[in-house]
């Protein structure tokens, strides 16, 4: 079994996380020292600023009920509900804040609202993916316990932190746990320690974290409407970087444009020729993932460029220029690459918001007969017609698809689902004479999900005779070519059948929904959608609340909480104008008609 990971292996593991939540699971164990069950308990209300140390964040860890731990450690002692507090790195705290905001979490909602067993599976799946990406160089047998040992190793060995502090932060009962990490000290080391030598830890590594931290903090600001500008402005707040900018190719062209810059004027960058060539353009093509270096276009100063990409969609490149002659070391390059990925995700989210409010859209239609696409495979095997009614996000990498099937029996559809990779948990909602309404869990193999990840809104999706047709909207001016190239990496024969700029359909958003869409959090909308498409509001009900909650992989109380809030937001949109009508006081609004 893995006895803690070195820095490179741990970074590879975090990078391999396919979802925001999966990365948080790994980091809460590896950087905050949380046990498996503890990861499922911590919530936004447990995170606070340290009063004695600026920029430090503390995470209160709720004590359990004395259950046996999955990693073999003893539970925290004491009768208090909060067993201990641990220090959370600033970048992890910022990511927790950002995740809570994006998911609409309340103060008491757990960051990771899954079972301890699911936490173990998330770590195992991420480790397997990391091992595959590293061609076996990384041991895939990583567990939450191994990540806690990584936490101990980093602080004790790499940074020389007082073992008592590590013991208390991680909730270990004795210092004897750390014997395997602490080598005997020679005379010089003893003299330095007893004399109070303060040179403990790896100062260069700490500086690396602080170098890129402002960029991450900028993305963590939920009020930021221009993520590229926020990131480059944040990066030059420290002395390490003198310039930062984001460059992207013009739609349909070979030249590039600077979309955000800090520390240097855009005109200056144009005079240097950065829009015509350079390592930043090498970071833009589809498939680029590593940082590239440059000097010629920056007056000889070291520079680094990383792709701003998310789910295969490369939006541009994030570029930084050092303030001195020291080139970026490997930890800096990895951190910048991670920041580029976060920026790519933020730009995708901006596209979704832009699409929601735009008057015109780029409408595209894709076709595929690839057997890897579940709808194509199912319609071909069963000789039936399948329409996708809706998809609801269960997790960052998992969706529940609601299907209307004509020409096939539920048991036959279930057999195809059972034999398909990435598709599971077939549930019948309604049985009809000529077919059924049902839902399936999609972890992969979904052309619809792939388009949504690229920032599209899917308008129509259907399959017949082994051929899938999907119609989707992108923000006006989107370069669809790299999107199509990214789709072909997953579905070999996918074809862009049509593309045109059209006025936004008045049916795309009804007047009612258009007025209340911004009221819902993602989780509230997911709960409402799952309940609606799952038949919860039908009579008799197609699914009970418990069945819908189970399909969404959340607890029944959590589902009821989000559903009730979503219903309230919906009803507010219906009644608030009438309630706010002049001349109607509280007493009048409360009285029934004629009362």
Q: What's the pLDDT at 74?
A: 37
The single-letter DSSP state of residue 408 is S
The encoded tokens of residue 355 equal 């699409």
More reliable by pLDDT, 410 or 214? 410
* Residue ranges of domains in the chain, CATH in brackets: 7-194 (1.10.443.10), 203-357 (3.30.450.40), 360-505 (no CATH), 515-590 (1.10.10)
pLDDT per position as a tens digit, 315-353: 778 888 888 888 877 777 777 887 887 787 777 766 656
Q: What's the pLDDT at 518?
A: 61
Q: What's the pLDDT at 79?
A: 43
Least confident of 158-172, 284-298, 412-426, 436-450: 284-298
- Residue-wise over 11-36: b if at least 16 C-beta within 10 A, else e? bbbbbbbbebbbbbbbbbbbbbbbbb
Check: CB of residue 478 under 8 Å from CB of residue 351: yes
User: β-pairing, 313-322 with 241-249?
Assistant: antiparallel
pTM: 0.45
Q: What's the pLDDT at 590?
A: 37
Q: Rounded distance, CA 456 to CA 460, Å?
A: 12
Closest among 6, 44, 45, 12 to 26, alpha carbons compared: 12
pLDDT per position as a tens digit, 99-156: 888 888 888 899 998 888 889 889 988 888 888 776 666 777 888 888 998 898 888 8
Residues 276-303 have a mean pLDDT of 54
């Amino acid at each position: 079994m893995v006895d803690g990971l070195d820095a490179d292996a741990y970074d590879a593991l975090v990078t391999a996380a396919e979802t925001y939540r999966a990365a948080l699971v790994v980091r809460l164990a590896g950087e905050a020292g949380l046990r498996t069950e503890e990861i499922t308990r911590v919530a936004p209300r447990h995170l606070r600023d340290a009063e004695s140390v600026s920029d430090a964040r503390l995470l209160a860890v709720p004590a359990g009920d004395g259950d046996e731990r999955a990693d073999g450690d003893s539970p925290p002692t004491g009768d208090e509900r909060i067993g201990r507090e641990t220090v959370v790195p600033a970048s992890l705290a910022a990511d927790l804040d950002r995740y809570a905001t994006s998911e609409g979490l309340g103060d008491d909602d757990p960051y990771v609202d899954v079972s301890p067993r699911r936490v173990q599976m998330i770590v195992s799946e991420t480790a397997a993916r990391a091992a595959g990406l590293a061609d076996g160089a990384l041991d895939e047998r990583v567990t939450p316990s191994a990540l806690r040992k990584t936490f101990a190793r980093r602080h004790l060995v790499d940074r020389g932190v007082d073992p008592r502090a590590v013991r208390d932060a991680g909730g270990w009962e004795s210092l004897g746990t750390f014997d395997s990490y602490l080598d005997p000290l020679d005379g010089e080391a003893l003299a330095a320690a007893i004399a109070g030598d303060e040179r403990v830890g790896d100062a260069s590594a700490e500086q690396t974290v602080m170098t890129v931290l402002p960029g991450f903090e900028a993305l963590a600001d939920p009020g930021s409407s221009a993520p590229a500008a926020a990131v480059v402005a944040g990066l030059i707040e420290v002395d390490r970087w003198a310039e930062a900018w984001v460059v992207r190719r013009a739609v349909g062209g070979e030249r590039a444009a600077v979309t955000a810059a800090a520390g240097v004027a855009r005109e200056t960058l144009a005079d240097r020729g950065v829009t015509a060539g350079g390592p930043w353009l090498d970071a833009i093509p589809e498939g680029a993932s590593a940082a590239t270096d440059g000097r010629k276009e920056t007056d000889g100063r070291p520079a680094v460029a990383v792709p701003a990409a998310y789910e295969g969609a490369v939006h541009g490149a994030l570029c930084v220029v050092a303030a001195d002659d020291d080139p970026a070391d490997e930890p800096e390059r990895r951190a910048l690459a991670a920041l580029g990925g976060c920026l790519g995700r933020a730009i995708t989210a901006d596209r979704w918001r832009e699409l929601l409010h735009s008057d015109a859209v780029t409408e595209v239609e894709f076709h595929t007969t690839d057997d890897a696409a579940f709808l194509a495979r199912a319609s071909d095997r069963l000789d039936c017609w399948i329409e996708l009614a809706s998809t609801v996000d269960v997790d960052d990498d998992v969706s529940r698809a609601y299907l209307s099937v004509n020409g096939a029996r539920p048991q036959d559809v279930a057999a195809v689902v059972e034999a398909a990779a990435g598709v599971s948990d077939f549930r019948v909602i309604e049985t009809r004479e000529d077919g059924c309404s049902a839902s399936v869990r999609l972890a992969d193999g979904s052309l619809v999900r792939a388009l949504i990840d690229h920032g599209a809104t899917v308008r129509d999706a259907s399959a017949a005779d082994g051929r899938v047709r999907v119609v989707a909207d992108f923000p006006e001016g989107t370069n669809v070519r790299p999107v199509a190239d990214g789709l072909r990496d997953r579905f070999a024969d996918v074809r862009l059948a049509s593309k045109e700029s059209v006025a936004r359909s008045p049916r795309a958003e009804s007047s009612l929904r258009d007025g209340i869409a911004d009221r819902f959090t993602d989780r509230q909308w997911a709960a409402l959608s799952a309940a609606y498409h799952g038949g919860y509001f039908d009579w008799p009900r197609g699914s009970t609340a418990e069945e819908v909650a189970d399909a969404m992989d959340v607890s029944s109380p959590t589902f009821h909480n989000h559903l009730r809030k979503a219903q309230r937001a919906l009803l507010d949109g219906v009644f608030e104008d009438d309630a706010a009508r002049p001349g109607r006081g509280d007493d009048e609004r409360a009285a029934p008609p004629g009362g």
